[in-house]
Structure 1
Amino acid sequence: MNTRHDRKLTSYMNAVLPSNDIVFSFDGTNSDLARQLYFRAKANQSAAQFVHLIVPPAVQDRLDDLHLQWDQLPGIAQRALLWDSGFAVTPQNDVVQIWTLGGYSLTDLAIPLTQFRAVGCLEMNCTQPDNSMAEFLVDKRIPYENITFERALSKGSSGEVWRCEYMGQRVAVKRLLRTKNHRAEEVEHFAKEIELSASLDHPHIASFIGVAWNSLDNLIMVLEFFPMGDLQTYLYKNIDLLTWANDKIHIAAGIGRALEYLHSRTPPLIHRDLKAKNILLTKMLDAKLIDFGVSRNCQDSSMTAGVGTPYWTAPEILEGKCYTEQADIYSFGVVLSELDTCEIPYHDAVSADGKKLKPFQLLTEVMQGTLRPSFSEECPQRIRRLAEACCQHDSERRPTASQLVAMLEARNIRG
């Protein structure tokens, strides 16, 4: 591929190694490609060891610092160490040194996919550790410098959401906390969330706008922004204004359609953290589902792990049992109680002696099937019956997402 570049390497003084760290640590914290090799090693991938290779002195110095022998390293670790030290191996098994121009990171030097294709080059998709094809996010990349951070909207244990401006429009930006050092697993987990979010396209799921980064540790996901905020806050502020006939049924149906879309994928996608806080609203009160950080495909091997927020979580998950997309249906039943009462679930749960139940007692009764969220006296009976069906202890007796949408879209909600 012949293409003209304005950046020129004038001398070795105008170049830097991929990593400036003196001591190499194979834990995903060093240079970009070394990190990718680390991820593959974590996924039990392997590569043949290099034999009869002349180890460069710079690489040998780093090995000596770690009291390691070159031939003791697995093939992937050998490649990671070589690259991080500024070297690569040709098909002829020769070691060559690699420099980047003018101190630019490889992210800065990367060629946009459009330019790559424009000169007749063909991109090749790498495979994931599970042998599935990796999804390209290159077409979704937007310039990091075009995003203006305005103010933080929310903060969690590892991430935060900001209101930002991009190309003259308000957007929401999710990123990992910048106040902590991120483990490679955290970055990988967030990257998977971004890839999943980019694959979703539904009127009741927040639209993915793009992804941006200026380093591996500073990766951000850009989503559409909703000034109305989340459903939980909106219910609390407008408790006297909302009715089932005019507003709540519309919101509930939108949430149901989002679940129907997720569960109709192959394999079904389970949200695993459905609650009013993870539902945003448009000015027309259309529901928009967000936060797919703990979502999993139904065939995932970790489908016994406890996830989500306990008060919205299905009994089978609390008990550590295997579960399916029907766990989301249980959470939907709990969200119906939030819509009805405009309160958090179990806000009025008390023991036999009239004392407010402690969280452990509450969750124990939920697992036993003796406690479910309460509803107001004004709640339409059909909504109450639907919620009871969704919150069945036996997951197989709960309606499917398609069935609950059909129930919600029936004209008469009073019966």
Structure 2
Amino acid sequence: MSFKKLAMKYFILSCFKAKCSDLQPKVCEKTSSCRLSLSDLSNSSLSIMSDLSNSLFGSNLHIFTLKELKLITQNFSKSNLLGEGGFGQVFKGFVDDKLRPGLEAQCVAVKVLDLEGKQGHREWLAEVIFLGQLKHSHLVNLIGYCCEDEHRLLVYEYMERGNLENKLFKCYSATLPWLTRLKIAIGAAKGLAFLHEEQKPVIYRDVKASNILLDSDYNAKLSDFGLATDGPEGDKTHVTTSVMGTHGYAAPEYVMTGHLTAMSDVFSFGVVLLELLTGKRSVDKNRPNREQNLVEWARPQLKDLHKLERIMDPRLDGQYSTEGARKAASLAYQCLSNHPRSRPTMRTVVKTLEPLLDLNNIPIGHFVYVVPNEGSSENSMQTRRQEVGYECDDDELRNGNKSEAEKIEKKEKGHNRRRKGLRHKRQIKPLRSPTVNSDTALYKTLGTSLYSPKEVVETKCIDQNMTDI
């Protein structure tokens, strides 16, 4: 029997063949106890992964051909390019049961390994092994893969909102609201907690904003498991590996010693939480020297409420719960401790963050004034009322209160008489504004009263001429 068949037989039997003895359980209480680990595979047996259709975890994965993936991405057209990372380029595609029976009709993201890139077969294999077996609402769903000659591709569910990095740092049209940021942090924390609590723990090792994907409802899912590895088991306290990851996110003890634990992920999560609070990248050479490393600059200020207000993302414009921000900052402070034992577990992180969503002491946002359309009877009546300085309820006007309406008309006639004999000495340029204006812009231009642009000009002209008289 060939080595390949022997290896496959060993993997299947070692997981599914129950051993009845007093020393070992008769059945696996948890699927994770039967999970295939990277350590289970030797370099000589990696070739068996090119045919996973009959493997212990491959039944829920689709094995695509390179031709099929070219078809669904229009031959990897640039128009379908979603982005590019350390693994390679990612393209958008569409699959259904016409391509492969049993496939749900849906958009997908096809990740193509860059054959000249930093990552290779080992990283591709890690993604297939981990995401092929681990299923959770906050882990991106791996639909299938392709292993054909030297080509290595992965097919994921499509995430409509892209990644957190783009939404937080590159989206100039609108900023992420406070509660949405909390929701994203909680989702990522739940995904990490699930990995750490597996019977065979998994250390993600690459927690960063670009690896947190968002669906249409801003539910966060961890992606890119190329650097993930099996955590310590039994009496072992850590795993010793070569230092890998992203500068600015890696835990200091891991960088210095290569000792990897679940607490390394907690530190990296703390960096992401700090980015969500401040709206700043973990490392930015364009900032002043002392602010270039976000953790070194911001962490000492997290426990001081007054300093915290100064480092909070200014794009939030104060629209966040002060109590929630303080508790989230305190949590980030703990996660970013230089001592791994002082950091909370990811389960504790989840329990700390979830109640913050219920805090309703968020300040009310700025009032937005909509300039009325010309010819609107209701708006014109409201404007007349403001112009003549008479205060009355809108209900009274709508109900046709004749006595008050007459008062308004009399005051208008008085203004019109004065206006006939006046000569305008100075023309004031009309207000140029879009249909919707913020209260701040209008108050600066118009004072404390709100007017329609056209009528404000007339009122200011009257006031100017009255002064001259």
Quick one: structure 1 residues 156 and 256, their matched pair in 2 at CA, closer, same or farther if it must change by over 3 Å? closer
Q: 1:207 aligns with which of 103, 121, 141?
A: 141
Displacement after TM superposition at 1:288 (Å): 1.1
Q: What SS does structure 2 have at the residue aligned with 1:338?
A: helix
Deviations 1:12-53 (A, max 9, x none): xxxxxxxxxxxxxxxxxxxxx99x79x99xxxxxxxxxxxxx
Displacement after TM superposition at 1:238 (Å): 5.7
Aligned equivalents of 1:188 and 1:346: distance in 2? Answer: 28
Counterpart residue number, 2:73: 149
Displacement after TM superposition at 1:242 (Å): 2.8
Tell me whether 1:412 sits opposite 2:359 in the alignment: yes
Tell me whether 1:381 sits opposite 2:317 in the alignment: no
Q: 1:165 aligns with which of 79, 85, 94?
A: 94
What is the 5 A alignment of 1:25-174? 135-137=56-58, 140-144=61-65, 145-147=67-69, 148-150=72-74, 151-167=80-96, 168-174=105-111
Q: What SS does structure 1 have at the residue aligned with 2:63?
A: coil
Q: 1:285 aligns with which of 206, 213, 218?
A: 218
Counterpart residue number, 1:75: none
Tell me the TM-score normalized by structure 1. Answer: 0.59
Which of the pair has more CA radius of gyration?
2
**Number of positions where the alignment pairs a residue of Structure 1 with one of Structure 2:** 282
Letter paired with 1:155: E
Quick one: structure 1 residues 302 and 406, their matched pair in 2 at CA, closer, same or farther if it must change by over 3 Å? closer
Counterpart residue number, 2:125: 191
Displacement after TM superposition at 1:347 (Å): 4.2
Tell me whether 1:336 sits opposite 2:273 in the alignment: yes
Tell me whether 1:296 sits opposite 2:229 in the alignment: yes
Q: What SS does structure 2 have at the residue aligned with 1:319?
A: helix
Quick one: structure 1 residues 414 and 270, their matched pair in 2 at CA, closer, same or farther if it must change by over 3 Å? farther
Displacement after TM superposition at 1:372 (Å): 9.0
What is the 5 A alignment of 1:235-254? 235-236=168-169, 237=171, 240-244=174-178, 246-254=179-187
Aligned equivalents of 1:342 and 1:173: distance in 2? Answer: 30
Q: Is the 8 A contact 1:383 1:413 kept in 2?
A: no
Aligned equivalents of 1:413 and 1:308: distance in 2? Answer: 37
Aligned equivalents of 1:239 and 1:177: distance in 2? Answer: 32
Q: Is the 8 A contact 1:349 1:357 kept in 2?
A: no
Q: Is the 8 A contact 1:304 1:320 kept in 2?
A: no
Aligned equivalents of 1:392 and 1:224: distance in 2? Answer: 35
Aligned equivalents of 2:264 and 2:312: distance in 1? Answer: 24
Tell me the TM-score normalized by structure 2. Answer: 0.52
Quick one: structure 1 residues 298 and 321, their matched pair in 2 at CA, closer, same or farther if it must change by over 3 Å? same
Deviations 1:90-134 (A, max 9, x none): xxxxxxxxxxxxxxxxx8xx8975xxxxxxxxxxx7xxxxxxxxx
Displacement after TM superposition at 1:138 (Å): 5.6
Displacement after TM superposition at 1:190 (Å): 1.5
Where does structure 1 lack aligned partners over 5 or more consecutive residues? 1-32, 41-78, 81-106, 114-124, 126-134
Counterpart residue number, 1:5: none
Counterpart residue number, 1:262: 195
Quick one: structure 1 residues 159 and 303, their matched pair in 2 at CA, closer, same or farther if it must change by over 3 Å? farther
Deviations 1:174-226 (A, max 9, x none): 22125x4x99x93244123212111121111111111233x231232111011
Aligned equivalents of 1:295 and 1:323: distance in 2? Answer: 11
Aligned equivalents of 2:276 and 2:173: distance in 1? Answer: 9
Larger CA deviation: 145-154 vs 282-291: 145-154
Aligned equivalents of 1:174 and 1:394: distance in 2? Answer: 37
Q: Is the 8 A contact 2:279 2:312 kept in 1?
A: no
Letter paired with 1:310: H
Quick one: structure 1 residues 338 and 177, their matched pair in 2 at CA, closer, same or farther if it must change by over 3 Å? same
Quick one: structure 1 residues 203 and 305, their matched pair in 2 at CA, closer, same or farther if it must change by over 3 Å? same
Aligned equivalents of 1:306 and 1:372: distance in 2? Answer: 28
Where does structure 2 lack aligned partners over 5 or more consecutive residues? 9-43, 75-79, 97-104, 363-469
Aligned equivalents of 1:413 and 1:258: distance in 2? Answer: 26
Q: 2:251 aligns with which of 314, 333, 338?
A: 314
Q: Is the 8 A contact 1:382 1:414 kept in 2?
A: no
Deviations 1:323-352 (A, max 9, x none): 3101111111111121122221254997xx
Displacement after TM superposition at 1:414 (Å): 6.2
Displacement after TM superposition at 1:240 (Å): 5.0
Q: Is the 8 A contact 1:326 1:398 kept in 2?
A: yes
Quick one: structure 1 residues 314 and 292, their matched pair in 2 at CA, closer, same or farther if it must change by over 3 Å? same
Deviations 1:353-382 (A, max 9, x none): xx52597xx59x95xx98999841756111
Q: Is the 8 A contact 1:239 1:342 kept in 2?
A: no
Counterpart residue number, 1:46: none
Tell me whether 1:356 sits opposite 2:289 in the alignment: yes
Displacement after TM superposition at 1:142 (Å): 3.2
Q: Is the 8 A contact 2:302 2:329 kept in 1?
A: no
Q: What SS does structure 2 have at the residue aligned with 1:160?
A: strand
